[in-house]
Amino acid sequence: MTERIALKRIYAAPGADNGLRVLVDRIWPRGVRKADAKVDLWLREIAPSHELRRWFAHEPARWEAFRARYRDEIARVPEAVETLLAHCRAGTVTLLFAARDGEHNNAVVLREVLLEELAEEARANEPASPVCYRGDDA
């Protein structure tokens, strides 16, 4: 399932395997023309709040606290999460971000949340194991 949710800097060239390209930043990236970005969906509401974004300032030392606080913010926009999950169920989704740091940004956290939700759905949809029972002839 991980291959169905890719991460990519918006400054990188679009690829044929990107599927649905979703920008998950609150602010449009500097220097990127909308006509060139090939963004299929811009979900501003799922991006970190201005306050959280400013506080984090892409400082790796704040990463764990940022992850926790951003997860709390994501939980407050279930409609946006469900929109993304629906697209993930349908095919490949590429989460686009502008940050230079590919390991410490909001798209990484959002992908974690989406993968957890999809895994939980998969577990819930698994058939229950058969009842173990010992017959009388044993």
Tens digit of each residue's pLDDT (9 = 90 or more) over 40-59? 999 999 999 999 999 999 99
Q: Residue 68 carries which side chain, given as an amino acid letter? A: A
Query: In this predicted structure, what is the pLDDT of residue 109?
Result: 99
Q: At what angle do helices 63-75 and 106-125 cross, to 10 degrees?
A: 50
Query: In this predicted structure, what is the pLDDT of residue 128?
Result: 60
Give the SS3 label for residue 7.
Answer: strand
Whole-prediction pTM value?
0.87
CA 97 to chain centre: 11
Task: Please count the other Cβ atoms lying within 10 Å of the Cβ belonging to residue 19.
Answer: 18
Q: Across all residues in the chain, what is the average pLDDT?
A: 92
Query: In this predicted structure, what is the pLDDT of residue 115?
Result: 97
Query: In this predicted structure, what is the pLDDT of residue 125?
Result: 74
Query: In this predicted structure, what is the pLDDT of residue 82?
Result: 98
Low-confidence ranges of the chain (pLDDT < 50): 1
